[in-house]
Amino acid sequence: MAALFLSLCVCLALALSNAAPAHHDVMMKDAPELHDAKPDRCKGIEFDAITPDEKGNTFFFKGDHLWKGFSGSAELSSSIFKELDDYHDLGHVDAAFRMHQQDDASVHDHVYFFLDDKVFSFYNYTLEKGYPVEIQKEFPGIPSHLDAAVECPKGECMTDSVLFFKGNETYTYDIKTETVKKKMWTHLPNCTSAFRWLEHYYCFHGHNFTRFHPISGEVTGTYPKDARRYFMKCDGGFGHGGGARRLRCSDVKLHAVTTDDKGKSYAFHDEMYLRLDTHRDGSHHFNISKSWKEISGGVDAVFSYGDKMYIIQGGQVYIYKSAVHYTLIEGYPKPLKEELGIDGPVDAAFLCPNQHTVFIIQGQKMCEVDLAATPRVVKKEMPIPFPKIDAGFCDADGVKVFIGPEYYSYASPMILAMSRIRPQPQKISPEKFACED
């Protein structure tokens, strides 16, 4: 009897050893570096999922660990998203995305996690009531065991959508109609994670990434690129954004500030620009030529009028059509005198909302130019109470003129021109301009 029992135990052990490994075991086999207590993404890691949260923090997932932001060490995923382990023996998150703005306020900014055939919805790091549910129930037509997912708002996709990836198959899920279009993007690497960042789309594979178009999957430019050079801070020649260090707020000197007709706000300084309206994606500096490829070096002034952005550099003006990305209008740049009836260079230019008069500042003089007139000429000149300013901006709150790391606020351009006493200066803040205090 003892021999029979021993024989049965041996058979059972052999059967178990030949069985398919569990989710967590497969992950550990494919990623042996995770045997360490804390994985190091600077050594080169293939991420399982990447997603921002509702506060603009970006999370990078690998195995049962995550990184919060572009720097810092790994920590257990369950230390922040606690309920994940309550419902699953967490090996790794298959995919994740943050829901972009929707008409249904109840799903604004929710973060969705996909594990095997289940989906979890979190808000403020707390699992929403009723979750997890089966993927098919929440997203009909979307398969289980996904590789990646990313949100795609209307204007960047045809409709408010989510892109799901499995192998070389891409599923475009229409949020409103709950319909799915399946595509085969065989030219794109198999994405183990996907990320939408500042209106660009990135497929991560190995320790590299490839940027792609969310509708066609088209890849333009030289890819793949090493993620460590762009999406994290690492030593040894790597670095987030090329390793550029943020300026101290006391060293900031803006050259232009503007908001286009799509609500995108920009601050320009030296050869760099910063998006001011993308706090949900973090604050980051880029070379001006990244978005306006015909511009080399810094700019003197920038303003927006209708669906166009005017960039003034020296005695020339470049006019770009604003859309998802900027396109230089044929025939430009042109001489500033020909376009606006004024000789360059200029110190600043701004346009107030729903107006067609641009105010151009040169030294202690502010000129008015009617953009609706033909030809465009200076129709009025007024003195201002500053010998020289760096940048000017006008919005619903009034006019701001920037001088070094400070700015002065006025209720209107006319009050700026009539004022003989300067208001109390205000400091450029880290929250607004992504500088260091």
pLDDT in tens, 107-138: 678 999 999 999 999 999 999 999 999 999 99
Between CA 411 and CA 258 the distance in angstroms is: 17
Task: Measure the CA dihedral 285/291/294/298, to 10°.
Answer: -20
Of 150-154, 164-168, 232-236, least confident by mean pLDDT is 232-236
Q: What is the mean pLDDT of residues 69-97?
A: 82
Tabulate helix, strand, coil % of the chain (nearest 5).
Answer: 20, 35, 45
Tell me the CA distances in angstroms from 430 to 133, 365, 390, one per residue in order. Answer: 41, 31, 19
- Of the candidates 90, 42, 32, the one whose C-alpha atom is nearest the C-alpha of residue 65 is 90
3-state secondary structure string across 84-108: HHHHCCCCCCCEEEECCCCCCHHHC
User: Each residue of 176-194: b (16+ CB within 10 Å) or e?
Assistant: eeeebeeeebeebbbbbbb
- All structural domains of the chain with their residue ranges: 21-243, 249-433
Distances (CA, A) of 402 to 313, 407, 432: 18, 4, 14
- Give the H or E element holding residue 66: strand 65-68
pLDDT at residue 71, rounded to an integer: 83
CATH superfamily of 249-433: Hemopexin-like domain (2.110.10.10)
Name the residue type at position 164.
F
Do strands 169-174 and 180-184 pair parallel, antiparallel, or not at all (unpaired)? antiparallel
Reported confidence tier of residue 405, pLDDT bands at 50, 70, 90: very high
Q: Above 50 in pLDDT, residue 17?
A: no
Residue 83 has a pLDDT of 81
Higher pLDDT, 90 or 213: 213
**pLDDT band at residue 18 using 50, 70 and 90 as cut-offs:** very low
21-243 topology per CATH: Hemopexin (2.110.10)
- Tokens found for residue 255: 């050259």
Give the angle subtended at the CA of 351 by the CAs of 302 and 325, to the nearest 5°: 50
- 55-69 burial by CB neighbour count: b if 16+ within 10 A, else e? eeebbbbbbbbbbee
The pLDDT of residue 247 is above 60: yes
21-243 shares its CATH topology with 249-433? yes
pLDDT for res 27: 39
How far, in whole angstroms, is CA 43 from its chain's centroid?
24
Helices (H), 349-401: none
Report the pLDDT value the prediction gives residue 8, as an integer from 0 to 100: 33
Question: What pLDDT band is residue 82 in, cutting at 50, 70 and 90?
Answer: confident
What pLDDT, on a 0 to 100 scale, did the predictor assign at position 10? Answer: 35
pLDDT of residue 4: 36
Of 61-65, 137-141, 239-243, give the lowest mean pLDDT range. Answer: 239-243
Identify any residues that bridge with 313 across adjacent strands, giving them in sequence order. 316
Q: How many CB atoms lie within 10 A of CB 325?
A: 12
- Per-residue confidence (pLDDT) for residue 56, from 0 to 100: 79
DSSP assignment letter at 165: E
**Strand ranges inside 352-405, DSSP E:** 357-362, 365-370, 378-383, 391-395, 398-403
pLDDT of residue 102: 57
3-class SS of residue 140: coil
| pLDDT score at 158 | 92
Range scoring the smallest mean pLDDT among 158-172, 241-255, 275-289: 241-255
**Whether the predicted pLDDT of 24 surpasses 80:** no
Band (pLDDT 50/70/90 cuts) for residue 244 is very low
For 292-310, the pLDDT digits (tens) are 999 999 999 999 999 999 9
pLDDT band, residue 20 (cuts 50/70/90): very low
pLDDT in the model for residue 103: 58
- Can you give the pLDDT at residue 104? 56
User: What's the CA dihedral at 13, 19, 23, 25 to 10 degrees?
Assistant: 50
| Confidence class for position 37, pLDDT limits 50, 70, 90 | low
Structure confidence at residue 233 as a pLDDT band (50, 70, 90): confident
- Rounded Cα distance between 255 and 300, Å, is 6
Residue pair 359/384 in contact (Cβ under 8 Å)? The answer is no
- Work out the mean pLDDT of the chain and round it to a whole number: 85
Nearest C-alpha neighbor of 60 from the set 91, 84, 93, 102: 93
Q: Which amino acid is at 16?
A: L
Q: Is 416 helix (H, G, I), strand (E, B) or coil?
A: helix
